[in-house]
A and B are shown apart, each in its own frame.
Chain A
Amino acid sequence: MPGYLLLLPLAPFAAFLFTLLFGKRLGHGAHWPPIIAVLVSLGCALLAMADVLQGRRVNADLYTWISSGTFQVSIGFLLDELTAVMLIVVTSVSTLVHIYSVGYMHHESGYYRFFSYLSLFTFSMLMLVLGNNFLQLFFGWEAVGLSSYLLIGFYYEKESAADAGKKAFIVNRFGDFGFSLGVILVFFTFGTLHYAPVFANAAAIAGRTFDIFGMSFDLPTLIALLLFCGAIGKSAQIPLHVWLPDAMEGPTPVSALIHAATMVTAGVFLVARCNPLFALSATALNVVTVVGAVTCLFAATIALTQVDIKRVVAYSTVSQLAYMFIACGVGAYSAGIFHLFTHAYFKALLFLGCGSVIHAMGNEQDVRRMGGLKKYLPITYWTFFLATVSISGIPGLAGFFSKDEILAMAFASPIAAGKFAWAIGTLVAGITAFYSFRLFFLIFHGTFRGTEEQRHHLHESPPTMTVPLMVLAVGAVASGWLGIPEILGGGAHWGHFLAPVLGHPEVHLSHATEWLLMAGSVGVGLLGLALAYFMYVRQPAVAEGIRLGFPGVHRWLFNKYYVDELYSAALVQPAIKLSRETLLRIVDGRLIEGVVNGLPAAIGQLGEKMRRLQNGSVHHYLTTMTIGAVVVLVWLATR
């Protein structure tokens, strides 16, 4: 195993420990160990990519982690094309976010704590993508969850932040419930948890069934769907999407790194990594596609009405992750990873741009108090603009290529839900352009709607923040050029590069169809853009009119379809009530304690009664003796 693979996760781990233990003494220099470590990781990731490009792959165990009977699992590293791409995404965005945070978190009291958590996260995420088996994946999976918990709850004295961190952790546990059962089922099916033998033998389990609860399930479908449960949680898809918008309580750099570019994409990575398993089940693929399509539309519609700028971007993330699942569902894994890649840059840019705006506005996040910021924040304005154009799928920028690839693949897919996903995806492309430009116009155009004090305070962010913005802007524009399709004169390099791991979907689209599909998605995108321009720049009264004209619709969207309220009423409150009213008060309190406390009391009473038998009166004793003797005699006689 090349040494850099070991250094990749260990550098941030060392920085985490060091900063946690000694960071307080470093004061405002506490960012140095984490930044140096992430730069080391970035360097190693580039080396890894260079090696992979030269055809080198690694699959090596470091040591045996758990050994019990036939159950053997290692800590080990797998380096292939998919890992290499993930390594680049994670380390590059992480590096930029580290640098950005130096400016953004400058005034925060837990400065060293923040940076040590960032290092912990980077370590965990790298362990997740580098693992060569399911259990190490699970290790990274939970460790990024812990980092996320800590960073969402960074301002823990705020109850909403502490709530949000806890919610993220617990909702993810629902996904992990299925995921861990999936991992266990993988072990029982294949006798190992290591990727290589599992995927090599995957085809052999086609058609097998598994019986539980008196029902018979198709084994590959069951495995795939159980694993997918974990992906639903981590990547915030319906019905476990509720934690991600709340996670915006965390500092904005965290939202960019963890809740947009890297951790939330772990679910997509998981499905892509396990593609040999998913490929065995059309049912599972259809479920993935439908969950993706429904989430895609669902989240995009909510984004239309939100007024907190981070929440708009958060719902947009849920919606974009859903595109990636659509891709995986229709078997176009490399298209999904392509979108993961471009999305990491344009979405991190959007979030960091929001951070720059929030920074300038004195922690204001309500878009209704912004407006006209263009002239105060020129760099933020232009970089945010590029990110918005990119996510809207305007030709030439990164988002266009990756989204278009997904839509084409969905259209061409032989699976049942393919056309459905294509239709939804195309519609959502328009909605995406609309809400993205709505946000953009509301922040940067029109007149300033905040307070005088805020206006006075407005300023462009320091270079530690603007430089990462500009670097990300390059990614938001150019990262898509790695996968320009053949029809546009490109070499479709992306798909070819990943094909050894992710395969090539067998699709055949005529050029005319491809052109038509492209024109369609670009068309709705431009339509959304134009509509946003009309409603939020030219005729702001129209937007207000629509809001007042459809109060019911607006209320539903604004309140996120009341899913949180539903969960609270149907799940959380009943569980607590069951705990308090039934289990604690009745079962524990009355039944068990009744017996426990009642038994000694009953024995006491019995003794009281028995005592009366010995009352010293002879004729009582005689009577008892006689009755006893008769009983014994009768028993002996009838025996």
Chain B
Amino acid sequence: MDFPLLSILIFFPVIGSAALLCVPRERPAAIKALALGISCVEFLLTLPIWLGFDKTTHLMQFVERRSWIPVWNVQYNLGIDGISVLFVLLAAFITVLCVLVSWSAITVKLKEFYVALLLLQGAMVGVFCALDFVLFYLFWEAMLIPMFLLIGVWGGPNRVYAAVKFFLYTLVGSLLMLVGILVLYFASGRTFDILVLAGQSYPITMQLFLFWAFFAAFAVKVPMWPVHTWLPDAHTEAPTAGSVVLAGILIKMGAYGFLRFSMPILPDATRMMMEPMIVLSLIGIVYGAMVCLSQTDVKRLIAYSSVSHMGFVTLGLFAMNTQGVEGGILQMINHGVVTGALFLGIGMVYERTHTRKIADYGGLASIMPKFSGFFLLFTMAAVGLPGTNGFVGEFLILLGGFGARPWAAVFAASGVILGAWYMLWLYQRVFFNQVNTAWSTLSDLNGREVMIMVPMALLILAIGFFPNILLSFMHVSVAHLLERVMGGSAAVAGITAGVNPFGG
């Protein structure tokens, strides 16, 4: 394709943020309008991807190749396949909502806020499109700065601690990945091209070393247990838009990293590390859910629930069969939508009450019926009620997990019980029970807020009833990936029906 669509998607928000800098500070309405305009145009720019994406090939599409630093053979390579395409779409979509939800919530340093948000968006799209390791690393690290600022400048009272913790945690992980990238570079005959790297084979000891080097970067980002403790702090302190981006896109990059790098480049190590990764995922599922039971802060609870939900995602990926990987990718999207929606909702109510303590709430269902209705739907999606998107992802992952290691599905399914427990308990304490009279005059959602909630609600139901809209994007790419990881054609079909994987 000659039209550099992906480059435009990456750099349009960056240029837009430069334009934003030119708007005078005294005109907040214009700043907001321009930011919204930029994010909307960006979203519309993804339309050609929706319409033009070829679902029948695993090859990279919308590819752009340019030489960048010839001395080191660094290239400016972009492209998307069935694994990354949905994240590009999601990133463009979520940013629009983030702009909208910050409309009245952000009052200080307005311009800088939207600039940071748009720069973040550009870097996020870049991460999902980059096919050169240096380019990828650049976007990966570039993301850190605006996110660090979003938390550290516009965050809650403890924002500096949270921002520094977030930064150091991810930086340490990324540095190990950088070492890994360099090792690969020399081992592969000096290339950073991800597709080329994925076509070679490396000695197993090296693969194992690289696997853990990459693991350091990706596991922190997911976050997997036990490197998850930055997430509750970051989520709690971040402004609403920050939490939404964090939950919606940023933490997906860890799982994406496993899919794009660890699995295809290091297939033998990935296979060997299957069980440890499954076990870590299971610990994450149960641990995250258990810890939710004693949370007193709404945002912290949702943050820990993310640890549990992302445990499902990594379980699916490392089940390494069709249902597991497709369910894992789908659940990444689902988690972005559902947890994003939950954070959006919490942001809206926080704007009215200025408290995150669960105990301060009660009886909101009477005062804010529309809001309660939306939040109930999001809660149900979070607990994986059939008919919502959460169910489809979770069920496919359980299927995949069972296909890989039956005991994994048994433990993972217990997370489904705990999930209902903490989420419904939260819902009860916020929306049911006696009305807290302090809030009896709160207004229900306004038109702008309903406009944010409706697309999330529709997405949840649309994916819940018609998941094939998204699953069809990934079939071919996932099959190709599994062929690479598992080798041989038998594995490609994933779980082979009728063939009995157990005794008898």
Chain A interfacial positions (CB closer than 8 Å to B): 20, 64-71, 75, 135, 138-139, 141-143, 146, 149, 153, 156-157, 159, 162-163, 165-166, 169-170, 173-174, 176-177, 180-181, 184-185, 187-192, 205, 207-213, 216, 219, 575-576, 578-580, 583-584, 587-588, 591-593, 596, 600
CB–CB B471/A143 < 8 A: no
Which residues of the other chain, A, contact B327 by a CB distance below 8 angstroms? 68
- What is the bound-complex CA distance between A212 and B406, given in angstroms? 7
Of the stretches B110-118, B126-134, B347-355, B397-405, the one at the interface is B397-405
A selection of 9 A-B contacts at a CB cut-off of 8 Å is: A70-B495, A143-B385, A169-B420, A170-B417, A173-B420, A180-B416, A188-B500, A209-B503, A579-B290
Contact between B433 and A68, CB atoms less than 8 A apart: no
Given contacts A173-B420, A177-B413, A209-B502, 5 further A-B contacts (CB under 8 A): A68-B322, A68-B494, A165-B428, A188-B495, A591-B226
The reply to whether A219 and B504 form a contact with Cβ atoms under 8 Å apart is yes
Asked if B343 CB lies within 8 Å of chain A CBs, one says no
Contacts of B201 in A (CB 8 A): none
Nearest-Cβ distance from residue B337 to partner chain A, whole angstroms? 17
| A95 → B minimal CB distance (Å) | 24
| Chain B min CB distance to A173 (Å) | 5
The 7 A-B residue pairs with the shortest CB-CB distance in the complex, in nearest-first order: A191-B497, A69-B322, A208-B504, A162-B432, A580-B294, A139-B386, A156-B432
Nearest-neighbor residue (CB-CB) of A167 within chain B: B424
Residues of B with C-beta under 8 A to A141: 386
Interface centre among B227, B407, B428, B432 (most CB of A within 10 A): B432
B424, B428, B493: the one within 8 Å of A69 (CB):
B493
> Given the complex of chains A and B, what is the CA–CA distance between A219 and B502 in angstroms?
10
* A399→B431 CA distance, assembly (Å): 42
**Chain B stretch 217-231: residues in CB contact (< 8 A) with chain A:** 226-227, 229-230
B56 at the interface (CB under 8 A from A): no
Specify which chain A residues have a CB less than 8 angstroms from the CB of B399 in the assembled complex. Answer: 68, 71, 184, 187
Contact A579:B386 (CB < 8 A) given known A181-B409, A191-B498: no
Interface size class of B (residues with CB under 8 A): 35 or more
> How far apart are the CA atoms of A584 and B373 in the complex, in Å?
31
Closest to B403 in A: A188
Which of B287, B387, B425 has the most C-beta atoms of chain A within 10 angstroms of its own C-beta? B387
Which residues of B (458-475) have their CB < 8 Å from a CB of A? Answer: 465, 467-468, 471-472, 475
Q: Note all chain B residues with C-beta closer than 8 A to A578.
A: 290
**What A residues does B385 contact at CB under 8 A?**
142-143, 146
Cα–Cα distance between A288 and B385 once the two chains are bound (Å): 27
Q: Which of A64, A184, A210, A588 contacts B291 (CB 8 A)?
A: A588
Residues of B within 8 A of A143 (CB): 385-387
* Interface status of B246 (Cβ within 8 A of chain A): no
Contact A69 B432 (CB under 8 A): no
B323, B363, B414, B425 interface centre (most CB from chain A within 10 Å) = B323
Indicate whether B268 reaches chain A with its CB closer than 8 angstroms: no
Which of A71, A207, A600 is within 8 Å of B396, CB to CB?
Answer: A71
What's the Cα separation between A192 and B504 when bound, in Å? 19
Q: A153-B432, A181-B410, A596-B169 are in contact. Are A170 and B287 (CB under 8 A)?
A: no
- Smallest CB–CB gap between A572 and chain B, Å? 9
Q: How far is the CB of B335 from chain A (nearest CB, A)?
A: 18
- With contacts A211-B502, A213-B407, A216-B503 taken as known, whether A176 is within 8 angstroms of B293 at the C-beta atoms is no
| B73 close to chain A: CB less than 8 A | no
Q: Would A592 and B416 be within 8 Å (CB), given that A66-B471, A578-B290 are in contact?
A: no
In Å, the complex CA distance between A102 and B382 comes to 34
In the assembled complex, which residues on chain A have CB atoms less than 8 Å from the CB atom of B64? none
CB nearest to A576 among chain B residues: B293
B391 partner residues in chain A, CB cutoff 8 A? 142
- The answer on a CB contact under 8 Å between B414 and A69 is no
Residues from chain A with a CB closer than 8 A to the CB of B380 are 146
Residues of B within 8 Å of A176, CB to CB, are 416-417
A residues in contact with B496, CB < 8 Å: 70
0 or 1 for each of B320-360: is its CB under 8 Å from A? (1 = yes) = 01110011000000000000000000000000000000000
Q: In the assembled complex, which residues on chain B have CB atoms less than 8 Å from the CB atom of A210?
A: 406, 502-504
Residue among B321, B396, B407, B421 facing the most chain A CB atoms (10 A cut-off)? B421
| Cβ contacts under 8 Å, B291 to chain A | 579, 583-584, 588
Asked if B465 and A65 sit within 8 Å, CB to CB, the answer is yes
Closest residue of chain A to B165, judged by CB? Answer: A596
The answer to whether B494 and A69 touch across the interface, beta carbons within 8 angstroms, is: yes
A159 touches B434 (CB 8 A): yes
Query: Are B293 and A579 in contact, CB atoms less than 8 angstroms apart?
Result: yes
Q: How distant is the Cα of A69 from the Cα of B335 in the complex, in angstroms?
A: 22
| Residues on the B chain within 8 Å of A20, using CB | 373
A139 to B380, CA, bound (A): 13
* Residues of B close to A188: CB separation below 8 A: 402-403, 495, 500-502
Q: Is B365 an interface residue, CB under 8 A from the partner?
A: yes
Min CB–CB distance A466 → chain B (angstroms): 33
